Structure formats: C-alpha cells, structure tokens
Amino acid sequence: MVLNCRHVWDRISEYIDGSLSPEVRADVEHHLETCEICSAVLDSTRNVIILMADDRVFELPVDFSRRLHARLALAIAEEAPEQPADG
Amino acid sequence: MMMTDSSMGLVAGHPETELIASILAGERDRFHDLIRPYERRIYLTAFSVVKNEAEAEDIVQEAVLRAYRKLASFRGESKFGTWLTAITLNEARLRLRRSKSALTDSLDERTEDGAEVTPAVLTDWREVPLAALERGEIRLLLQEAIASLPETFREVVILRDMEEMNVSETAQALGISISLVKVRLHRARLMLQKILVPKLRAAIKPERRSRWRWPWS
C-alpha cells in the first residue's frame, strides 16, 4: 500500500516502538526512504522521546527520599499492615 | 482468579514476592526496601496529575503509607510497582478533585483522543545532544511542554516514556485499555514533538542557523 505523509505520521509512534505489523512497517519504511519531511519528523520525534527519558528533565526535590522514609519509619513503628479482610 | 501465569503475580522465588511475604510476616522495616526502586516513578506519577512539586511529594507519602497498610491486599494480579503506581494515581486524582485547580484543569481535557495531531515539519532539526540537558533552560522547555499536555496524555507519556513502563503495565496502572494507551501515547508524543522541535531548535546551537534548510526552498 502506498502511504501518504499523514498515514505515516499516524503510525510514527508504533513505528518507533516496533509494534507495527511487518507489512505496514515495510510500507512506512518505503515512504521514509523517499520523503525527507517524514524522515525528519521521525528523527525529531525519536529524539524528543530520548530527551524525555533522561532523568535530568525532572529531578526529585532535594531530600525527597529522606523525608519519605522518615515518615514511613514513623508509620512502621506505630502499626503493622492491616490484616486481609478475608483469608 | 486462579491464574498461574509466571510473568505476572506472586511468583515464588521472586525477590519482591519474598520481600512482601517477609514484611507481612513481621519484618516491617523491609518495606523501605520494597518501595525504594519506585520512588521516582511514583513521584512523577503524582506530578503528572497535580503539576506541583510539594503536592506531588505529599501525595507520594500518603500513597506509600496506604500501600504499607494495605499490603496484605496486594494479590499479585499485577507487578508490585504497577499496584503502587495505581494507588499513587488514585491518591493524586482524589487530591486534584478536592482542590480548586480541578476546575481549570478540566478545560484541557478538550483535546481528547479523537483529534489528529500534526507534527512540526522542520527537516533541519533531527537531533539534540543529551548534553543539552545540562542547561536549565532546556530542561525547563521540556518540563513546560509536558505540563502543557492534557492530563490523560501527560499520565501516559510519563509512565511510558519517562518511567519506561511497558504498554500493559501502563494500561493496568491507569485502568484503561492497551489500545487507548497507544492512542494517547502517540498523540502525546506528536504534541511534544510539535511544541518542542521549534523551541529546541531555537535554543540549541544558534551558530548553525546559516546551515538550516527548509523543505520548500
């Protein structure tokens, strides 16, 4: 099947995740070989995903973990997990 | 349900399963170790809903205490991390509904699952070096772009692309279908591409401006 740009954009996310069927994947790749716009959209989308995955984008608040475990330690000292309602 | 699928659930011999059993048997302090791998994930989960650092931290604390108290009710139908994520999400949504911001936030639900998203088509912008994240302004651009997404999209993209949960874990944590996860993820990624590509291009390596090519030139 010959895909136009819109078809390719609609499949970009699944293309990146490798979850397209082999036939559709081949159609997308065929289009990408000849379409500079779509190959740029693909590259930039993939790049945005790589950037987003970096832990530096959102850092935990300073001492977040220490405060969490301090609060948890108080609860653990005070109470045991609840018994299940039924066995 | 009597499923014995070894890919899910309480698998004997799995370190997490043993940890949970030992906590329920009285080694309560080991709960600290159980949650440690998920701190970042549940923080971002809470943040994806409330978009506020202090509130997200508070939600995480409440969710962790709730998970501790309810640990015996964790049956292993999902991974522990997925269960904890779902608890955090519930806590965050409850909080959001109680706060006034729910009024304004519901407005951004207009961009829903039906609308098409058109990406930015700039053939000269293909990559940004990860080192660019050392710059606070670049991190801020990414944070703002994520914050600007509708909540339902933000949740999916944070769990999938930032916390790298798989599609079925994300669906379980959010209580939605796998196909809806895929649809929302796709739209969220294209929205981020559309918002970020022009901004990042402007912010990074302006000295290369002369080499830019336009698709119509």
List pLDDT tens digits, range A50-68. Answer: 999 998 889 899 999 999 9
B-chain CB neighbours of A49 within 8 Å are 161, 189
What stretches in chain B show pLDDT beneath 70? 1-13, 100-115, 205-217
Which of B71, B139, B197 lies closest to A81 in CB terms? B71
- The pLDDT assigned to B157 comes to 95
Of chain B, the end-to-end C-alpha distance in Å amounts to 62
Q: Tell me, what's the pLDDT at B9?
A: 45
> Of A58, A28, A10, which is closest to residue B41 (Cα–Cα)?
A58
Cβ count near A47 (within 10 Å):
20
Name the residue among B142, B123, B131 with its Cα closest to residue B200.
B142
Q: In CATH, which of 2.160.10.10, 3.90.930.60, 3.30.470.20, 1.10.1740.10 is domain B15-99? A: 1.10.1740.10
Each domain of chain B, given as residue ranges in start order, spans: 15-99, 109-203
| Distance of alpha carbon B201 from alpha carbon A44, whole angstroms | 10
Q: Which two tokens stand for residue A5?
A: 């740009």
As given in the structure block, the two tokens for residue B64 are 């962790």
pLDDT at residue B217, rounded to an integer: 43
A13: nearest CA partner in chain B: B186
- The fold for domain B109-203 equals Arc Repressor Mutant, subunit A (1.10.10)
**Can you give the pTM of this predicted structure?**
0.81
Q: Which residues of B53-69 are buried (b: 16+ CB within 10 A; e: fewer)?
A: bebbbbbbbbbbbebbe
pLDDT at A25: 96
Min Cα distance A15 → chain B (Å) is 10
> How far is residue A85's CA from residue A36's CA, in Å, rounded to a whole number?
61
Interface of A with B in 38-77 (CB under 8 A): 40-41, 43-45, 47-58, 60-61, 64-65, 67-69, 71-73, 75-76
Q: Calculate Rg over the CA atoms of chain B.
A: 20
0.85 surpassed by complex ipTM: yes
